[in-house]
Amino acid sequence: MIKKIISKFESILTKKVLNYNTSDFWYIKFLNFKTRKYGYKFSISDLPDKEPKYKIVDIITNKTIFFGYRQQGLMCYSGGIAKRGISLANQYMIDSLSFNDGDYIFDIGANTGDFKIYFDNNNIKINYYGFDPGLIEYNSLKRNISNGLYYNLALGNTNTVSSFYYKPEFGDSSLVEMSDYLFKYDVKVNTFETFIIENNLQNRKIKLLKVEAEGFEPEIIYGIGDFLNNIEYITADLGFERGINQETTAPQVLEYLILNGFEIIKINKDRFCFLLKNKNYKI
């Protein structure tokens, strides 16, 4: 009975502090209370008038992650920074793969760059490329990635300028219109093939391509073009996120990749992620 009362009280308190009418002071106090046993500390960014607004610091290692939204902080970092990296590696199933220093990792739909935490946790010095067309997401990305490259760029199947439907609280922004976005703005879109050529990466072997684009995954995959065989592994979130009808992109993406020499080696049914290996890839 006491546990139920405590749980109910915490649920009410959580909703209260996530409300943006509640002061940042109480939001930070709440997060620090929840994570006090992990050795982490939340605070307001040292640039309080600019985004991203919040940050979490690992007191022991001094690792810092900046983020822009209250729900994001609670959802992603309640267990601390290292645990976030472990969680994402498990969700995308990359903890089953072997990585080495110097591997090329492309993170499409990078958000704040959390995907790289796993490699930092394991002291693997990868060549990291992060892409996100989001306004606050990119500002977080460039503050969080000290050893890697990052681009305020969308990837697709054409080189163009397109409307980007912004819904950032839960990382749901997309180039495909959904029903409840906050606002839209124009972003530059390049194909992956164009990016590779413009950055002289034609002969680079890519160990892993991670794709999470809130329903825009088929266009990104189609835009890889002739460089598909440069990629050894692809991990993709193909959940029910495309457009107003919230459709899955699994049929289009998986059919295309399998026809082009990939095979599914793992599936995360909880998140509807797929890990694929390129049978034509040669080191």
Strand order in the sheet with 64-67: 40-44, 54-58, 64-67
Among candidate residues 133, 154, 130, the one with its CA nearest the CA of residue 144: 130
Q: Residue 6 — very low, low, confident or very high, per pLDDT cuts 50/70/90? A: low
Inform me whether the pLDDT recorded for 4 exceeds 70: no
Inform me whether the pLDDT recorded for 19 exceeds 90: no
- Cα(172)–Cα(181) distance, rounded to whole angstroms? 9
Pinpoint the alpha helices (H) of the chain.
Answer: 2-18, 24-34, 70-77, 81-91, 117-121, 135-144, 192-198, 217-222, 250-259
Q: Residue 207 — very low, low, confident or very high, per pLDDT cuts 50/70/90? A: very high
Mean pLDDT of 227-238: 97
Contact 77, 35 (CB under 8 A): yes
Q: Quick: pLDDT tens for 112-156.
A: 999 999 999 999 999 999 999 999 999 999 999 989 999 999 999
Helices 2-18 & 70-77, crossing angle to 10 degrees?
Answer: 140
Quote the pLDDT of residue 50: 75
* Range 83-278 has CATH code 2.40.10.500: no
Q: Which of 42-51, 88-97, 185-194, 249-258 is predicted least confidently?
A: 42-51
Q: Where are the domains of the chain?
A: 2-77, 83-278
Q: Residue 40 — very low, low, confident or very high, per pLDDT cuts 50/70/90? A: confident
Contact 109, 117 (CB under 8 A): no
Among candidate residues 174, 185, 262, the one with its CA nearest the CA of residue 219: 174
> Does this model's pTM top 0.85?
yes
Mean pLDDT for all residues in the chain: 91
* % of the chain at pLDDT higher than 90: 70
Task: Report the length, in residues, of the chain.
Answer: 283
* % of the chain at pLDDT higher than 70: 95
- Cα(224)–Cα(219) distance, rounded to whole angstroms? 9
Mean pLDDT of 232-261: 96
Mean pLDDT of 235-261: 95
Quote the pLDDT of residue 80: 87
Inform me whether the pLDDT recorded for 77 exceeds 80: yes
Among candidate residues 267, 256, 277, 251, the one with its CA nearest the CA of residue 92: 267
